[in-house]
Amino acid sequence: MEKISVQDVTFTYGSEGADVSAPAEPAVENLSLEIEKGSYTAILGANGSGKSTLAKLIDVIEVPDSGRIVVFGKDTSDDSVFWQIRENSACVFQNPDNQIVGTIVEEDVAFGPENLGIKLPELRERVDQALKDVGIYELRLREAASLSGGQKQKLAIAGALAMRPEILILDEATAMLDPRSRDEFLAVCEEMRLKKGLTLITITHDMSEAMRCGRVIVMSKGKKAAEGTPAKIFADISLEQYGLRRPVIIRFAYEIARLAGVTLTEEDLTGEARLREKITKILTSPDLANADIPEESNDKEAKTRRKIMSVKDLFSSYDGGKSFAIKNINLDVYEGEILGIVGESGCGKTTLISHMNSILKPSSGDIEVYPEEGVTLRCSQKKDVQKIRQSVGLVFQYPEYQLFEETVYKDICYGLRKMKLTAEEQKDRAVKAAKSVGLEKDVLRKNPFELSGGQKRRAAMAGVLAMRPKILVLDEPASGLDPVGREEMFALIKSLREQGTTVVIVSHNMDEAAAYCDRIICIRNGEAVTAETPDLLFSDKEKTAKFGIDQPKITKFTSLLKQEILKRLPEVHFERMRFDPEEEARAVYRAVLKAGRKDVK
């Protein structure tokens, strides 16, 4: 049987490696694993667990310090077959912009086969075929820079496929895509695997992506921590210690099982349908265990709150009014809430929040900010602009890319210096801001580029928070973080809200938006669809279908589950939807119990 065989491999990045400041710990240590030809494998692990290094080792971009990697019978340390192995495997990386070499789409696809010395007309045939396979043939003469993120990633697969590899490695290739592009991207890769017998290896943080695979390998600190079928891996409770979380559906199922005192088997976890069947069976069984579940406080209940920002009939155009990036947006933001702005890439989310901070000028309409009772600031008033920028803090996507000072402290103080505060005031605010994002005091003295990814992001956020904004606007605050990092980020956002900041989050992740936001506004093609509480929004099937709003995964799962239960127990009356899987599990359980008790009476 042909396979990729990693045998006791250790690898340390040398001094010429990516991160010179990092201590020279091995990125991969005594790693042994096997991946069979034609299989579909997910490699999971927290940031820095060695996943990407493994990909580079398999693709012979790096060679192990010790141990051996044998790819389909060829040893990667053997110089005579080095190119053969590399030609046989292709990679798609995370950032679409940083892997496009050609200016024009077809020129980029040709880059790989040109390197292999493929001659015309085969070269032309390969390029066309690859473009057709991923469905972007009609874009072949477009400028690559003008494509959307999803299209750029498809271009990257086309570039990989044109080399006719047997192994396709996706190195967090879906991390920067919105859910729809992500599904399309994976569907293309999976189709190619079946059609061309590719060995597909996907390195990911997305647990539901891992559920699509045949096998999962969990990495932790450069070592293999676990491996098996997705069902086996997700049945293993100790996933948290590797910085991972179970998929939401499985978390839901485990909470139901815990309440009912039932154990789930590995087999129950193989596939959504089977899992739903099992849960339905548990919940509808006549001797369902009576669990005492306290009613949960309805903290998402809309209280009468003060309006803090109001977007009025906002239109925005980048081309002087020929077309509008956003059209007729009306939106009120209330003090102390977390408001989610969701929508696909390119729908106008980022444009809208740039207006909130008065970086862009509206074509028509206005935004009013009420930092205090009785004070009204208007974006249209030039004298108010500076005050608005102080009242509304804006943190763009990947804020760590904007750090520039030599110490974290100086960087945090940048905005404060611009506000012309005294040195003492600056220090006080900077230290408090650092504390509020969970940065230790000694970090302040460090160079921002020495910090880890998560810490850098926190430092950048502190720079905005130090200006003491009343409203904090965050563009995709969790992008690029691993599951635990994401949870920590949202915990941080919640704690900022507790401290009195109103938060606006832009996200394309429906699961997180639903779980953490009090209200959600959905933007589609520049138009705002609605601002409602998540349970109202997602329970309105007509509306979600009409506007193409993707439901959170947990909701997709439970709404089918609820239908199943209602078929058998029509008297059950379900509560409003929850979006935290454990909370939703308790709510469902409670609803079934209540109905059951009536039966008994």
Partner 1 sequence: MLSDISLGKYYKADSILHRTDPRIKTLLYVVYLVVIFMINSPAALGALAGVIVIQVVMAKVRPSVIWKTVKPVLPLSVFILILNILTIKQGDLLFQWKFISITDYGIARAILMAVRLMFLILSTSLMLTLTTTPLKIADALESLFSPLKLIKVPVHEMAMMMSIALRFIPTLIEETDKIMKAQVSRGADYDTGSFINRVKGYLTVLIPLFISSFRRAEELAVAMDARCYKGGEGRTKLNPLKITGTDILVGLFLTACAAGLVVMDLTLR
**Binding region for partner 1 (CB under 8 A):** 18, 56, 59, 61, 83, 86-87, 90-91, 93, 95, 97-104, 106-107, 110-120, 123-124, 127, 141-145, 159-160, 163, 318, 354, 357, 359, 386, 389-390, 393-394, 396, 399, 401-404, 414-415, 418-419, 449, 463-464, 467
* Nearest CB to partner 1, comparing residues 124 and 378: 124
Nearer residue to partner 1 within complex by CB, 86 or 300: 86
For residues 116 and 519, give the distance between their C-alpha atoms in angstroms, rounded to a whole number.
Answer: 53
Measuring CA to CA, which residue among 428, 437, 436, 442 is closest to residue 457? 437
CB of 110 to partner 1, least distance (A): 4
Shortest spacing between CB 147 and partner 1, in angstroms: 11
Residue placing its CB nearer to partner 1 in the complex, 86 or 590: 86
Cβ distance to partner 1 smaller for residue 198 or 484:
198
Q: What is the 3-state secondary structure (H, E, C) of 271-304?
A: CHHHHHHHHHHHHHCCCCCCCCCCCCCCCCCCCC
CA–CA distance, 86 with 425 (Å, rounded to integer): 57
- Whose CA is closest to 351, among 516, 527, 512? 527
Among 149, 210, 206, 146, which residue's Cα sits nearest to residue 176?
A: 149
**How many C-beta neighbours within 10 Å does residue 277 have?**
14
Measured from the CB atom, the residue of 472 and 588 that comes closer to partner 1 is 472
E strand or H helix at 332, and its extent?
strand 326-334
**What is the rounded distance in angstroms from the CA atom of residue 395 to the CA atom of residue 397?**
7
Nearest distance, CB of residue 539 and partner 1, angstroms? 36
- Choose between 121 and 286: whose C-beta lies nearer to partner 1: 121
Burial 74-95 (b: 16+ CB within 10 A, else e): ebbeeeebeeebbbbbbbbbbb
Q: How far is the CB of 348 from partner 1 (least distance, A)?
A: 15
- CB-nearer residue toward partner 1: 401 or 548: 401
Cα distance between residue 215 and residue 212, in whole Å: 9
- In the bound complex, what is the minimum distance in angstroms from residue 410's beta carbon to partner 1? 11
User: Strand pairing partners for 34?
Assistant: 5
CB 162 to partner 1: min, Å: 9
Alpha helices in 518-570 (DSSP H): 534-539, 541-546, 553-568
Biggest CA–CA distance in the chain, Å, is 81
Query: Which residue, among 217, 245, 189, has the nearest Cα to 554 in the 3D structure?
Result: 245
Smallest distance from partner 1 to CB 68, Å? 21
Q: Side chain identity at 18, as an amino acid letter?
A: A
Give the residue with the Cβ less far from partner 1, 124 or 543. Answer: 124
In the complex with partner 1, the residue whose CB is nearer, 1 or 18, is 18
Between CA 32 and CA 6 the distance in angstroms is 5
To which residue do tokens 């030599």 refer? 406
Pairing of strands 223-228, 74-75: unpaired
Give the residue with the Cβ less far from partner 1, 421 or 514.
421
Q: Give the shortest CB-414-to-partner 1 separation in angstroms.
A: 6
Cα dihedral sign, 459-460-465-467: positive
Find out whether 475 and 37 touch, Cβ atoms under 8 Å. Answer: no
Shortest distance (Å) from residue 163 CB to partner 1: 7
Q: How far is the CB of 69 from partner 1 (least distance, A)?
A: 15
